[in-house]
Structure 1
């Protein structure tokens, strides 16, 4: 009887501790499909992804993780935040939009790279395991005292047992938070090292921490520094300022070309997430600059007259004729104007001009070709979408367009397999298995389509 009481009490204590602790530890096995299943608002945009990768590339090289297959995933969230999960780095669109210079967001990337290079997640899991053990041991000791108190009819002993259990769990939690704060400071110092190694300023990091400190001061909130997983902003500034200012690159500014790309990225995010007036407010000091014009064109496309949007994008193209993303926007406007043939021409130009060969642009090209609707355009759509998926295998939307193209061509086995793939990479595993089973019956055993369908059927759905 006593053993059962102890076991139940310890189990409850461990579960309570786990509920508080798992929020700070993310499994390295997590995939994009799992995040999609969890309804994480992932953003896909060729222009923004290309710029962020350009920011990250030299930092990853300096951190020694350039060949580690690190993916950068954008999250549609207005809060200033970034985090890592295994070999994936997640950056909120709010962090990109609030960073007024490239250097500010590069500092964020450098900090997160410090976590990856330092193996902090693996060590955090070890610390979590130790903390769980501490909580369980405290729970067992406390439960033993409670049972002993009950047996001897000693209320004081039973009360002390409850205090032991609760105190042990709290001590374990505080120990874990202290460990996390240490790792955050280590990542900050690593970031300074990476920035200096790549001849970049550390000023952006200080600007970010000063922004955090200002927001905290304005909120009027009182925060116990021992109850949070990150050091307080003023402490981070104090720890870094002297080291940062010693860098010979501290006062180095971002190049005008990079700053312009950054401003255009911010304009795009603002137009799509903050409503009509956001871009005009953002660029009120330079209302006639290219970034402001880009924001205005996007606003007109989203909320205004498509004819006016078309005229404005042509003006942008005249100023930067080799910009693939202006051609992409032109294609978007033409698609919305129900002119798919002309849109296909614009997307084809975007694909041709794209220096990084994004998978997103060929998929948009394929979508326009599907809308044209002729047998020849549908065959071309399959080729273009497959080209895009070869570069961007986990693009669930791409598979859905591929299924549509195959369906209109009458190729039902391939259409069902593409539907299975789209559901699979969208995190809808059960639907993926249903369509894979349907597709497999139509393929000859042993063919590539049959084998891929079998892979989806055999996939073990991760536990929630």
Structure 2
């Protein structure tokens, strides 16, 4: 039973335990890259999000809702965008199939077998057959685990075929999907995982999956369809950007040496130098990008970020303001709001408030934006709305006790019946219920 429960805990690990990498360019790319697949799966693109978490493992998963979580390690190891599309198509198969919800069925069956074996084993032990009783219990646990693993493998195979169907319907080649499974197969070889059968595993062996999917993909009309070159170029940009952000600077500079004058290389080195506290070198890379594409909003964002985080917030305002104008992107708007506040110039605070209010209106799931908005309200002496912004931030971070206290403080200064008062009331009610539930568990 302990082994079974441990496997289930791994199945439902919380994504919030890992760092979510929020980036405007990456999220826009993921939405465009996955959009045709989401439509092919019969879902609404605006309701499905593909997000990146900071984890070096080659993995992706779904954990409830219409979210696909992609590890940074998967993007770093992917050779092209088509490989990532193959992975996302598979994960969409899990969402469409309701596999997270249906996992309860597999758990129920496995638990039933375990409990029955415990009852029979206990009866045998009570009758004097201690060894027989232990044997029954052990066999029951093994049977329960086998049942659950078989259920999990069936879900994975179903998601493989669903993903192939989405790729076909979207007119996207399955070559990348096979290429990525071959990467996983090579990893299995390096880890010396037996390749005779997949019993005792949550997933079928990669070789088994390749054999099944090859028959599906090679006869599909989209098999020889080339990858969209513009989408591939965007992928190379966000891959380089991600490597520069998450990797050690010396690793990034080895992968993208100074001799490489491509846009992805400039992107990666800009982050590497910025992380190494060489702002002038980082700015030189950002300027090289802007020389190639003068009004690219994400290159402007990069330059603004480097200037802001190097202690030059006033210089960061112009490039960030242009980037916001070009994209209306709330993550970039939050950075602009931060720069305006960081100047400590009262003349900039009105603009900061407007920018940040617009940002949280379009993306409420941004704790840093709420923090910055709280700073603006506090500066204006509006302590009630500062408390409400703080409550929003703590609620998002799962700090229920702090959210409850901040929401209660906000209600003390807000007019009853207003939108802000009702929002504070909602946060207080939800947070208070969560705090009470935590107390009961103790």
Which bracket does the TM-score occupy, shorter chain normalised? over 0.9
Q: Verify the 8 A CA contact 2:35 2:45 in the aligned structure 1.
A: no
Whole-Å separation in 1 of the counterparts to 2:254 and 2:179: 21
Q: Verify the 8 A CA contact 2:266 2:286 in the aligned structure 1.
A: no
Q: Verify the 8 A CA contact 2:303 2:319 in the aligned structure 1.
A: yes
What is the aligned partner in structure 2 of residue 190 from structure 1? 162
Q: Verify the 8 A CA contact 2:59 2:74 in the aligned structure 1.
A: yes
1:378 pairs with 2:349: yes
In structure 1, the residue corresponding to 2:224 is in which secondary structure? coil
Matches within 5 A, 1:231-242: 231-242=204-215
1:297 pairs with 2:270: yes
Whole-Å separation in 1 of the counterparts to 2:388 and 2:94: 39
- Deviation sequence 1:413-454 (CA, Å, 0-9, x none): 111111111111011111111111122111222222222222
Whole-Å separation in 1 of the counterparts to 2:72 and 2:122: 47
More displaced stretch, 427-436 vs 288-297: 288-297
What is the aligned partner in structure 1 of residue 10 from structure 2? 23
What is the aligned partner in structure 2 of residue 152 from structure 1? none
1:217 pairs with 2:223: no
- Deviation sequence 1:384-403 (CA, Å, 0-9, x none): 11111111111111111111
What is the aligned partner in structure 2 of residue 75 from structure 1? 53
Instruction: With the length of structure 2 as denominator, give the TM-score of the two structures.
Output: 0.92
In structure 2, the residue corresponding to 1:85 is in which secondary structure? coil
What is the aligned partner in structure 2 of residue 62 from structure 1? 40
What is the aligned partner in structure 1 of residue 18 from structure 2? 40
1:428 pairs with 2:399: yes
Q: Give the Å deviation of 1:255.
A: 2.4
Whole-Å separation in 2 of the counterparts to 1:420 and 1:344: 28
Whole-Å separation in 1 of the counterparts to 2:309 and 2:338: 12
Name the structure, 1 or 2, with higher relative contact order (CA <8 Å, separation 6+).
1
Residues 16 and 289 (structure 1 numbering): CA distance in 2 closer, same or farther, change over 3 Å? closer
What is the aligned partner in structure 1 of residue 302 from structure 2? 329
Gaps of 5+ in 2: none
1:446 pairs with 2:424: no
1:366 pairs with 2:345: no
Q: Verify the 8 A CA contact 1:340 1:372 in the aligned structure 2.
A: yes
What is the aligned partner in structure 2 of residue 180 from structure 1? 152
Q: Verify the 8 A CA contact 2:19 2:54 in the aligned structure 1.
A: yes
Residue 124 of structure 2, aligned match among 142, 145, 167:
145
Aligned residues: 433
What is the aligned partner in structure 1 of residue 260 from structure 2? 287
Whole-Å separation in 2 of the counterparts to 1:344 and 1:412: 27
Instruction: With the length of structure 1 as denominator, give the TM-score of the two structures.
Output: 0.88
Whole-Å separation in 2 of the counterparts to 1:215 and 1:16: 25
Residues 68 and 288 (structure 1 numbering): CA distance in 2 closer, same or farther, change over 3 Å? closer
Whole-Å separation in 1 of the counterparts to 2:126 and 2:51: 51
Gaps of 5+ in 1: 1-12, 27-33, 150-156
What is the aligned partner in structure 2 of residue 30 from structure 1? none
